[in-house]
């Protein structure tokens, strides 16, 4: 008898289409155009991040995307009163709370769930009053999972950036972030141990969250090379992937980029 495997939801993060648009401050390319292509090529969800600095997705984009998306929209946002008010008006299918720092290039780590417990409590309560389910973007550790459960979140998204960085260091010819280059001269054995422990942390956190009744997503830095080990973790039911899909779409088109990733996500 085969074990029953759970379907993996693919959320495509389309922020980078707006990043390209903002490079010229014009209206092209429009992230709205990605919705149908993603839906037709295997995506299960659209993910966008309405940042406080509005560096890519703007309020108007979020509004149009939520109103017209054929797929559920997962809206990432900071724990900030003025943004949360906007999110409540926008009424997405889910809000994912993420840490935000103005000077960061991308979301660098998970929420400080212990340190921010009071602010998170108020924010989650407000979203719930507005019937918006909440996911918390956290580092893959048991303590953060426990805090998320105590805070009444429905879901956690485990930050896979650390795993992705180590994977890139081990395979230096593959896409990697600039700060990985400094660590490329670490011995291979050390990197392999680091990779194993990063994966063990993700799996351990995912299983614990699932045991507590939380839905488990994962994301950040996942690409066509490193996604397989995360797909293999049965406790994870959703992946949110942006950079690698949009990067591939430059060369092969968004339809192929989404369907290639979907094929890798099929368990």
Active site residues: 49, 76, 220
**Residue 9 CB, nearest distance to ligand PXP (Å)?**
13
The single residue among 98, 113, 120, 264 that binds ligand PXP, judged by CB under 6 A, is 98
Residue 135 dihedral angles phi and psi, to the nearest 5°: -115, 145
Residue 242 touches ligand PXP, criterion: CB under 6 A: yes
Residue 75 dihedral angles phi and psi, to the nearest 5°: -100, 115
Residue 140 touches ligand PXP, criterion: CB under 6 A: no
Q: Which stretch binds ligand PXP (CB under 6 A): 57-65, 179-187, 237-245, 254-262?
A: 237-245
Residue 76 touches ligand PXP, criterion: CB under 6 A: yes
Mapped onto helix, strand or coil, the DSSP state of residue 33 is helix
CA dihedral for 51, 52, 58, 60, sign (positive or negative): positive
The single residue among 113, 167, 221, 254 that binds ligand PXP, judged by CB under 6 A, is 221
Residue 244 dihedral angles phi and psi, to the nearest 5°: -70, -35
Residue 44 touches ligand PXP, criterion: CB under 6 A: no
Angle, nearest 10°, between helix axes 142-150 and 188-211?
20
Residue 38 touches ligand PXP, criterion: CB under 6 A: no
Mapped onto helix, strand or coil, the DSSP state of residue 97 is strand
**Residue 110 CB, nearest distance to ligand PXP (Å)?**
9
Residue 141 touches ligand PXP, criterion: CB under 6 A: no
DSSP assignment of 181-238 equals HTTTTS-HHHHHHHHHHHHHHHHHHHHHHHHTT-EEEEESS--TTTTHHHHT-TT--E
**Residue 90 CB, nearest distance to ligand PXP (Å)?**
17
**Residue owning tokens 């966008």:** 48
* Between 3 and 21, CB nearer to ligand PXP: 21
Residue 218 dihedral angles phi and psi, to the nearest 5°: -145, 155
**Residue 204 CB, nearest distance to ligand PXP (Å)?**
20
* Between 49 and 94, CB nearer to ligand PXP: 49
Residue 78 touches ligand PXP, criterion: CB under 6 A: no
What single DSSP character describes residue 250? H
Report the interface residues with ligand PXP, using CB under 6 A. 13, 15, 49, 76, 96, 98, 106-107, 137, 157, 219-222, 240-244
């Amino acid at each position: 008898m085969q074990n029953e495997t759970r379907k993996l939801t693919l959320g495509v993060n389309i922020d980078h289409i707006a990043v390209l648009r903002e490079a010229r401050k014009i209206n092209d390319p429009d992230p709205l155009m990605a919705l149908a292509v993603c839906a037709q090529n295997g995506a299960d969800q659209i993910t966008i991040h309405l940042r406080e600095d509005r560096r890519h997705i703007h309020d108007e984009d979020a509004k149009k995307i939520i109103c017209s998306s054929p797929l559920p929209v997962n809206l990432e946002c900071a724990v900030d009163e003025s943004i949360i008010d906007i999110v409540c008006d926008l009424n997405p299918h889910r809000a994912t709370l993420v840490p935000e720092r103005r000077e960061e290039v991308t979301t660098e780590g998970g929420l400080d769930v212990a340190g921010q417990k009071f602010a998170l409590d108020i924010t989650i309560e407000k979203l719930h009053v507005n019937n918006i389910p909440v996911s918390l973007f956290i580092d893959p550790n048991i303590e953060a999972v426990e805090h998320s459960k105590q805070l009444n979140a429905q879901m956690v998204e485990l930050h896979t950036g650390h795993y992705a960085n180590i994977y890139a260091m081990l395979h230096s010819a593959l896409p990697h972030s600039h700060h990985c280059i400094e660590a490329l001269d670490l011995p291979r054995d050390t990197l392999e141990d680091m990779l194993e422990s990063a994966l063990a942390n993700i799996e351990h956190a995912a299983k614990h969250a699932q045991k507590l009744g939380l839905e488990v997503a994962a994301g950040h830095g996942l690409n066509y090379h490193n996604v397989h080990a995360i797909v293999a973790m049965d406790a994870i039911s959703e992946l949110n992937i942006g950079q690698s899909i949009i990067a591939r779409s430059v060369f092969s088109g968004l339809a192929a980029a989404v369907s290639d990733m979907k094929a890798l996500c099929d368990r």
